[in-house]
Structure 1
Amino acid sequence: MGYEIVAIKSLTAAQLEEVNQLAVICNGHDGIALKINPNMLEQRSGEHTEDFLCYADNKLVGYLGLYVFHAKEAEVSGMVHPDHRRKGIFTGLQHRAKAECRKRGIPALLFIVQQKSQAGAAYQKRIGAPYEYSEYWMDLGKSGEKP
């Protein structure tokens, strides 16, 4: 099976839906909540390439998004469909993202890996990326009222 990686500056509505559906599949399989920031994906400026999609037979099987908040680093979040893991897809996505960052003068990639993501932790270990720190998510609640 051949894979095709597409690098784009802004997602179409159909691509955004594909990314969201892939996240649902990966989250369900891994028991996690990937941080892909759908609202931010909808509002990409279109100025820079920040989204990398991998297709197999016209079906999205991998995604990597760059989130650049300053010139020192790009945050990276991504996923690969469980049926297509361990085939070099995320490595291919990561290499394309790294080349884009290099082109833009961004020296570092900061990978966002959920604590319970065994696949994410294994990939980081395989590429020798050191653990630096943890973040916490806080949720006030759906109604916006204090508990």
Structure 2
Amino acid sequence: MIIKEFSELNEELINSIRILENVCKEYDGLNGNMFLDNSLNFNKNIKNLFMAYDDDILVSVLYMFIPTKAEAEISAYTHPKYRKRGCFKSLIHRANEEVKRYDIKDLLFVCESKSKDGKETVKNLKTAYDFTEYLLEFNRDSKILTPSELLKIRKASFDDAKQIIDVCVDAFDDSYEVSQSFTMKTLESKDREIYVTELNDVIIGSCSVSYDENDIFLFGFAITKENQGKGMGKETLIKLVEALCKDESKNIFIEVDSGNDIAFNLYKKCGFEIKTAFEYHRMNIE
């Protein structure tokens, strides 16, 4: 078995990962896709992709999403015929060595709730269950209310960065540094953009959008606390989905913590339905 390590993604690597992913998803009856995007990683030099080959055939892959030094979020697949043969163990060993070089303390393993082999793996690693997120998909046949003209949404520019950062700090209680990093890296990315919500020409909300080959993902959906509970979030999301639905070839997704009933109910009212669930299991490596 040959293991290769990468700090950058390219089309060839992504295509080979997707081929293995589709084999595993069909075998395990899964619905989710591995998140593959290095644009938000806090350090571009970190090796965050580990791939195991049998001759020239990709048999196991481990990918780390590392937007901050707090934790590395790990997703992995191993070909059904190569499971219980040490492939994943070898990859996680290499990943462990890499994150320790950058003083990252926690590994957060992502496991689709329906994955029996995945759950067995995180159990064997002696991880601790942390939380569950639902992946919701917009149903284009859903009937949602026509939004009012109270709010305006538009694509953001770099000139909006300061206001977007302030919105995120207020809505998520994140530090200014974390919100600044996410905002600037999203604005700089070629596959991402930010939409902002304006009330009387003042930005009161934002939502980041990521574009994949066939899918659109919404993340970082934020409304300032002062304007929460007033229907602003619902109107923003309806208008945003309406704009994104002009591209009929792409599916629209959003994730929500299973414990966030307010956001979950909001998304359902706006036409989103559960596609699958992901469990997150934490392991401290200090």
State if a TM-score over 0.5 links the two structures.
yes
Bigger drift between 50-59 and 131-140 goes to 131-140
Shift of 1:13: 2.0
User: Are 1:4 and 2:6 matched, yes or no?
Assistant: no
Segments of structure 2 that go 5 or more residues without pairing to the other structure are: 142-240, 243-269, 272-286
- Counterpart of 2:105 in structure 1 is 107
Could you tell me how far apart the structure 2 residues matched to 1:86 and 1:28 are?
19
Whether the 8 Å contact between 2:40 and 2:67 is mirrored in structure 1 is: no
State the match for 2:58 in structure 1.
60
Structure 2 contact 40–66 (Cα < 8 Å) conserved: no
Secondary structure of 2:73's partner?
strand
Counterpart among 116, 129, 133 of residue 131 in structure 2? 133
**SS of equivalent to 2:14:** helix
The DSSP-based 3-state class of the residue aligned with 1:106 is coil
Taking structure 2 as the reference length, the TM-score comes to: 0.47
2: distance between equivalents of 1:31 and 1:124? 18
Task: State how far apart, in whole Å, the 1-side matches of 2:18 and 2:94 are.
Answer: 21
Residue 45 of structure 2: aligned partner: 47
RMSD between aligned residues = 2.1
Contact 1:50 1:65 in 2 (8 A): yes
The number of aligned residues is 144
Matched, 1:23 2:21: yes
Deviation at 1:27, TM superposition (A): 0.5
**Normalized per residue, which structure has more strand?**
2
Q: 1:128 aligns to what SS in structure 2? A: coil
Q: Which one is further off, 8-17 or 116-125?
A: 8-17
- Alpha-carbon distance between aligned partners in 2 of 1:57 and 1:36, rounded to the nearest angstrom: 24
Residue 93 of structure 2 is matched in structure 1 by 95
TM-score, length basis structure 1: 0.88
Q: Is the 8 A contact 1:23 1:34 kept in 2?
A: no
Q: Distance in 1 between matches of 2:16 and 2:140?
A: 26
State the AA in 2 paired with 1:105.
D
Q: Aligned partners of 1:119, 1:42: CA distance in 2, in Å?
A: 30
Kindly state the Cα deviation for residue 12 of structure 1 after the two structures are TM-superposed. Answer: 3.0
Q: Structure 2 counterpart of 1:133, which letter? A: F
Q: CA deviation at 1:41?
A: 5.4
Which structure 1 segments of 5+ residues have no match?
Answer: none
Question: Structure 1 residues 42 and 57 mapped into 2: Cα distance closer, same or farther (>3 Å)?
Answer: farther
Deviation of 1:35 after TM superposition, in Å, equals: 3.8
Q: Give the superposition deviation at 1:130.
A: 1.7
Shift of 1:42: 8.3
Identity of aligned residues (%): 26
